[in-house]
Amino acid sequence: MLKKLCWILPIAIILVCTTGCIFLIGTKAEKDPFANFTITENAKLAYDLSFNEYYSPEEYVNLISNLITLTNEKSIEPVYAINDNLLFVKRTIDTYDSFEESIAIVDVNGNFTTDWNANWGDYDIQFRAKCGDYFFIITEAHSYNYYNCDVVNQEGEVITNVYCKENRYDLGDGYVFFSLGADFGNIMNSKGEVIELQYKSVVPSYGEKGAGALEEDQEIGKISEGLFYGFSKGNVNTVAYYYNTKGEVVIDLSTQAVNYEVTKLSDFSNGQARIEFIGANGKNYYVNIDKTGDFIGEPIEY
């Protein structure tokens, strides 16, 4: 019996040790890339959100140090990288009789493209403002989730201030759609010019989500060959429009205009776009249309 215990005990110890080693290896925390540097938690967050696309941890720490020297702002912290040259930064004034946090845009050489702005918030810039090539930065909040937003482009310039809902959609080609409510919306071009969409009847309830499908049975397309679509399946009417970049409806496939019910639209390519619909006979079809909305060939049942 004693001999049996003598060989069982070492095996048990080995198993416990082995199991424990495996557990420790499996739960070992990832190495902190800034373990050898002095850097704030806010700066670490900013790195993970955008700066890691352009800088190594060491380059990032050097960037912060250089900006403190170049701007003579000891409290300066990176907020978000617009690109590899321009970034949002925050400073904090914290004295016995004053406390203020403000945001500016600087380049890596410490040159300011926008001055300090106490109306801009770092959380907004990091998590909500970016849309396509732009940042829609809240400057004033109104009732019913309406806001005034400064629009900043890739050059770090404030190109306009717009009144809109929080959610926006990147149309591509330098255009952005922004919601003005359930049934209203505008588009903005790369010059910051706001263009009101033309409505024929009810329009899709844009703006409930940031991109892609908005709600169930709602979509916005990308600008392709000068057109983009808006689709919404309603309880009474299904809305299916193709707009041009002037905001005009150039193809109306809503149920008030055609005797079939569109279920899906697509972007144009080589002068054609595929649509799917339910015919007057209740059957499902697909067909390509041209830029006038006419069918190219006969619809195919599927």
Residues 6+ apart with CB under 8 A from 208: 167, 179, 214, 215, 218
- Report the alpha-carbon distance of residue 66 to residue 25 in Å, rounded: 38
Q: Each residue of 247-285: pLDDT tens digit?
A: 999 999 999 899 999 999 999 999 999 999 999 999 999
Q: List b or e across 78-92, with b for residues whose CB sees 16 or more CB atoms inside 10 angstroms.
A: bbbbbeeebbbbbbe
Q: Which residue has the higher pLDDT, 28 or 96?
A: 96
For residue 195, pLDDT beyond 80: yes
Residue % of the chain over a pLDDT of 70: 83
Closest C-alpha among 98, 99, 66, 97 to residue 89: 66
Residue type for position 32: D
**Comparing 76-90, 177-191, 241-255, which segment has the lowest mean pLDDT?**
177-191
**Comparing 69-83, 204-218, 222-236, 288-302, which segment has the lowest mean pLDDT?**
204-218
Which pLDDT score, from 0 to 100, does residue 52 have?
Answer: 97
Q: Strands, DSSP E only, in the chain?
A: 77-81, 86-95, 98-107, 112-117, 130-131, 134-141, 146-152, 158-165, 168-172, 175-181, 184-188, 194-196, 218-220, 227-233, 238-244, 249-252, 261-264, 273-278, 284-289, 295-301
Average confidence (pLDDT) over 218-244: 88
Which pLDDT score, from 0 to 100, does residue 199 have?
Answer: 74
- Counting DSSP H helices and E strands in the chain, the numbers are 4, 20
Q: Which residue has the higher pLDDT, 179 or 251?
A: 251
Average confidence (pLDDT) over 55-66: 97
Q: Each residue of 19-49: pLDDT tens digit?
A: 444 333 444 456 888 988 989 999 999 999 9
Which pLDDT score, from 0 to 100, does residue 179 have?
Answer: 76
Which pLDDT score, from 0 to 100, does residue 203 have?
Answer: 55
**CA distances to 223, 284, 289, 292, 293 from 272, in Å:** 13, 20, 6, 10, 9
Which pLDDT score, from 0 to 100, does residue 184 have?
Answer: 67
Give the chain's mean pLDDT: 86
- Report the alpha-carbon distance of residue 45 to residue 126 in Å, rounded: 10
For residue 178, pLDDT beyond 50: yes
Average confidence (pLDDT) over 115-132: 96
The model's pTM is 0.83
- Report the alpha-carbon distance of residue 130 to residue 176 in Å, rounded: 11
